[in-house]
Amino acid sequence: MNDLKAKVKDLFESGAINLFIGYEEGTRRPRPLFVKNAEETNKLVFDDRCSGNLAVYLTRKDLIGGKKVGIAASYYALKSINQLVSENQLSDEWLRVIGLSADGKLLEFGSLAEVSEYLKTASAPPKQNEDELVRQIEAMTMEERWQFWSDELSKCFKCYACRAACPMCYCTKCIVEVNRPQWIQPWATTLSNMEWQINRVMHMAGRCSDCGSCGEACPLGIPIHLLTHKMSETVAANFGQNGDDKGNVLSTFKPEDKENFIL
Amino acid sequence: MSKIGVFICHCGENIGATVDCEKVAAEAAKIDGVEFATDYKYMCSDPGQTLIKNAIKEKGLTGVVVGACSPRMHEPTFRKACAEAGLNPYLCEMANLREHCSWVHEKGDATTGKAIDLVRMLVEKTKRNKSLTPIKVPVSKKALVIGGGIAGIQSALDIANAGHQVIMVEKEPSIGGHMSQLSETFPTLDCSQCILTPRMVEVAQHPNITLYTYAELESLDGFIGNFKATIRLKAKSVDYKTCTGCGACTTKCPTKKIPSEFNEGLGMRTAIYTPFPQAVPNKPVIDKEHCAYYQKGKCKVCQKICPTGAIEFDKEDEFITEDVGAIVLATGFNVLKPDFFPEYGYGKYPDVITGLQFERLASASGPTLGEIRRPSDGKIPQKIVFIACAGSRDPAKGIPYCSKICCMYTAKHAMLYQHKVHGGESYVFYMDIRAGGKNYEEFVRRAIEEDGANYLRGRVARVYEKNGKLVVCGVDTLMGAKQVEIEADMVVLATAGVASCGAEDLAQKTHVSYDAYNFFAEAHPKLKPVETNTAGIYLCGACQAPKDIPDTVATASGAAAKVIGLFSNNELTREPMVAVVNRSAPPVFSTCVGCFLCQTACPYQAIEREEIKNRNGEVIKTVAKVNPGLCQGCGTCVSFCRSKSIDLEGFSNEQMYSEVLAVLEE
């Protein structure tokens, strides 16, 4: 803990950064903190309770535009950062990343390429809860599944908190705002809510870090993170993992790719 | 407000017999925005086109929907007609009422209903069409010919003689292909080498032809008029600049027992070799698979013997990149693998040979210097059996097609045998004699009637050896299905022609479609026989299907004519159906966020990066930009773009969406 404080302080004092995105103690668990100078660094905390994906702020030009930024990144934030790098959104010129290993050690990354290298060997924290829930849904009949998602999505009132919490949702104009043609009906009904979620999840294919922030953000507790969790699983099984290729698993072809899904 | 004209074609009976065209026109007239709708027997005919032109002028149409056949054939026809009447041609669309409706459904109300739906979809799309202008791109006037057999040679010479540069790539150490292996050629019995080798020399000496032997196409990028071909020059281990072709190395090479490919395994060659004495270029290469130095690390005899020091071991393959405007595929064919006929004992009995091996035996440059001697003991066979259709026309063996050349070359073989072995007996087992071609039938009759070849109509069940003879068990179906047993000294199988072994790989590299047998597919079997589905890539010869020499040469010249036609223009006009990245007012400039996943998805490398700068020259934003010269309008980027910042001209999201809604809302 003091390690991080000292390190970030150094970064500020050496002029390497002028903004640090990290965590401070919150009411129930650590919450995001934007540190703007060396003095504020003593509020910082960084441990395994810090699971929120802070990478979401890295594409917010209004918050970080023109600044030199440091970030405390959980495992999933590292994955998001790696994907954002391959999507040309981040650059070594202004970003310094500090991670946390599974055994609680600080990881200092000299460059974004090192993040990518680290992820090749690091393994994801287990998601037993999600796996269990997905298994339960898979055990349902098609009708039951339809009923389950219809019930869940009937609650949605399209606040788009899921979109705001997602590091991968950084488009200037989201598809829900495209109205020529109007791909997704703007009002909140079960069907149009499904249209939105299906689109959101499809847009995550091959990009999602599986951090679960979308589900966390939902004020109605709709388990939409199960959709991205299941999809990440499907993409990994059929197209491989992102990481070794520039771009997206769905757009890169390798002769050894499985083709068993082609009928 | 749109004023759309709808024109329903009966296509004679093709559409008219199944779809109620009058009703389709009447229903189309009721659609919002449709100003005029009518039907006509042949819309593509002159009166049909005049009907459209007049309606455009008289009714002031803003768009035209022709409900007719596939746009593949007649979209250009109707667009041209619209342009002549003063309407932007891209405001004309076709609803495919033939392939998508009348040809695939029974006559009935539902079929007519579907035709109406198809028309309604296109009307909705056309309402949202924009005037487009064709794109002009420059043409590199240099052709790449892949394959140096007679097809490639003919094509290359024709293009080169028209004054254009040609690059010829041949994977073997010499050009000449299968034709150089043949003895005499039907139906005139002129010597194959005598007519071919002068052409080979012409290729080598032609100022407009650059020849790369022992080379293969590594990869291909680009599009018609602007291909970029990367060619792998396989390491020959011999420096052709210093080698004089004296042949000292090939005589001294200690590895001498390698079956010669040129002689179809009936002769031997050395590890450093020139495939045949008349090879072009007449310089050797080292076969690394058999060379003692490459395999065991010791030898280098050739290097010691070479008077000019031309041997260079351990050189890497080299790669060169060429900009070419057109490509001719002339990669030829192979004959079926011998393990295909266990019942005929090929491989088990040395005197059961393929037609191509017989060519080598009959050839003056062959292992027996043109005498027909059997491979096992060198004796002259007194009785010989030819089996036609060995593999061909046999769906059970997976080759349902006719290999076309076998009837003729089998007649030629029987004839050559009778000419060379006086008093010998020849038998030909055949299914049918297919001798369609100028002087072909006369040639076969001559083999039977003048040279006395015995033709037996029937198949051969089995060939086995007994007392040093090959017993051929067959049936003569013209003699009441009588069983026939012939004790022969030699058996020749007219093996099926199959696709060249690298054909599938090459087709994938060049994005050319191919059939179930890996033969390259022509764009249209009748009207576009030398074009492929990829613009700017043409094909000729036996890579398309088994062909004899006259047909091969004809298609080679045909492909060359297409290339020369393409090269007759300085610019190429391309369809403007290309992807475009949107632009919007500052400070957004474009909704593109510059993730460039489109760039990774684009199969044509058509997406570039564009920096949007402010007045001080500072970069505000980096966005995607589509190069319209490279874009093929496939739309992969459009589906990849999450924010819908890329759209396809002529097939915009809005157009497609309204088409879908038009059919769903009814």
- CATH number of the domain bearing residue B75: 3.40.50
Return the number of other C-beta atoms located less than 10 Å from residue B50's C-beta. 13
* Record: contact B600-A246, CB cut-off 8 A: yes
Shared domain for B345 and B468, answered yes or no, is yes
Provide the sign of the torsion angle of the four alpha carbons A53, A59, A60, A64, taken in this order.
Answer: positive
Say which CATH number the domain at B586 has.
3.30.70.3270
pLDDT score of B317: 95
In the Cβ-directed half-sphere of B491, how many Cα atoms lie within 13 Å?
Answer: 31
Are residues B107 and B59 located together in one domain of the fold? yes
Domain extent for B159: 142-234+317-332+500-567
Partner-chain contact A248 B600, CB within 8 Å: yes
Residues B347 and B462 in one domain: yes
Q: Token pair for residue A46?
A: 């960084």
Residues B80 and B101 in one domain: yes
C-alpha distances in angstroms, A43 versus A30, A31, A40, A68, A178?
Answer: 11, 11, 6, 20, 42
pLDDT at B519: 96
Render pLDDT for A81-91 as a digit per residue (tens, 0 to 9).
Answer: 999 999 999 99
| pTM exceeding the 0.90 threshold for the entire prediction | no
B505 neighbourhood in chain A, CB within 8 Å:
none
Predicted local distance difference test score (pLDDT) of residue B260: 94
**Contact: A251, B600; criterion CB under 8 Å:** yes
Give me the mean pLDDT over the B362-372 stretch: 93
Q: Is residue B463 part of a domain?
A: yes
* Distance, CA of B663 to CA of A139 (rounded, Å): 36
CB A188 within 8 A of CB A157: yes
Percent pLDDT > 90 in chain B is: 88
- Condensed to tens digits (0 to 9), the pLDDT of residues A7-41 reads 999 999 999 999 999 999 999 999 999 999 999 99
The set of residues, in sequence order, having a beta carbon less than 8 Å from that of B363 and lying 6+ positions away, is B181, B182, B183, B192, B193, B370
Closest CA relative to residue B506, chosen from B525, B534, B481, B482 = B534
Is B379 in the same domain as B259?
no
Query: Residue B47: inside a domain, yes or no?
Result: yes
Per residue in B199-256, pLDDT (tens digit) is: 999 999 999 999 999 999 999 988 889 999 999 999 999 999 999 999 999 999 999 9
For residue B574, what pLDDT band results from cuts at 50, 70 and 90?
Answer: confident
Q: Do B328 and B197 belong to one domain?
A: yes
Give A214-228 pLDDT, tens digit per residue.
999 999 999 999 999
Strand bridging mode B425-430 / B454-457: parallel
Confidence of residue B533 (pLDDT cuts 50, 70, 90): confident
Pairwise CA distance, residues A108 & B621, whole Å: 30
Query: B325 exposed, middle or buried (CB, 10 Å; 0-12, 13-18, 19+)?
Result: buried
For residue B240, being part of any structural domain is answered with no
CB contact (8 A) between residue A171 and residue B601: no
Report the share of chain B in percent with pLDDT over 70. Answer: 100
Q: Which residues of B touch A259 (CB under 8 A)?
A: none
Which residue, among B597, B618, B638, would best test binding to A if mutated, counting the most A CBs under 10 Å from its CB? B597
Q: Is residue B663 part of a domain?
A: no
B155-164 pLDDT, tens digit per residue, is 999 999 999 9
The whole-angstrom distance between B161's CA and the closest CA on chain A is 41
What 8-state DSSP symbol labels residue B32?
A: T
Regarding whether B341 and B485 lie in a shared domain, the answer is yes
Domain assignment of residue B64, yes or no:
yes
Residues B351 and B452 in one domain: yes
Domain count of the fold of chain B: 5
pLDDT in tens, B276-309: 999 999 999 999 999 999 999 999 999 999 999 9
Residue B381 inside a domain? The answer is yes
What pairing do the DSSP bridges indicate for beta strands A44-45 and B646-648?
unpaired
The predicted structure's pLDDT at residue B402: 95
Q: Do B434 and B462 have their domain in common?
A: yes
Within this chain, do residues B97 and B208 fall inside the same structural domain, yes or no?
no
Same domain for B476 and B351, yes or no, is yes
Nearest by CB to residue A170, choosing from B588, B592, B593, is B593
The answer to the question of residue B369 being in a domain is yes
Sorting pLDDT into bands at 50, 70 and 90, what band is A262? low
- Which residues in chain B are contacts of A89 at CB distance < 8 A? 593-595
DSSP characters over A157-194 = ----HHHHH-TT---SS-GGG-BTTB-S-SS--HHHHH
Q: Are residues B324 and B340 in the same domain?
A: no
Element (H, E) at B223: strand B215-223
Q: Helices (DSSP H) in chain A: which residue ranges?
A: 2-13, 61-64, 75-86, 112-121, 128-139, 142-154, 161-165, 190-204, 213-217, 225-239
Which one-letter amino acid corresponds to residue B663? V
**β-strand B490-495 against B352-354: which pairing, if any?**
parallel
DSSP-based three-state secondary structure for B325:
coil
pLDDT in tens, B114-129: 999 999 999 999 999 9
pLDDT of residue B429: 96
A205 and chain B: CB distance < 8 Å anywhere? no
Q: Is A171 on the interface with B (CB under 8 A)?
A: yes
Q: Which tens digits make up the pLDDT trace of B575-617?
A: 899 999 999 988 889 999 999 999 988 877 889 999 999 899 9
At A104, is the pLDDT very low, low, confident or very high (cuts 50, 70, 90)? confident
- Domain contains B538: yes
How far B449 CA lies from chain A's nearest CA (Å)? Answer: 56
Kindly list the structural domains of chain A, giving each domain's residue range(s) and its CATH number in brackets, ordered by start. Answer: 2-121 (no CATH), 128-239 (1.10.1060)
The reply to whether A254 touches chain B by the CB within 8 Å rule is: no
- Mutation target vs A (from B643, B653, B656; most A CBs, 10 A cutoff): B643
Residue A106 predicted with pLDDT over 80: yes
Looking up residue B537, the CATH number of its domain turns out to be: 3.50.50.60
Are B597 and A247 inside 8 Å of each other by CB?
A: yes
The reply to whether residue B601 touches residue A172, judged by beta carbons under 8 angstroms, is no
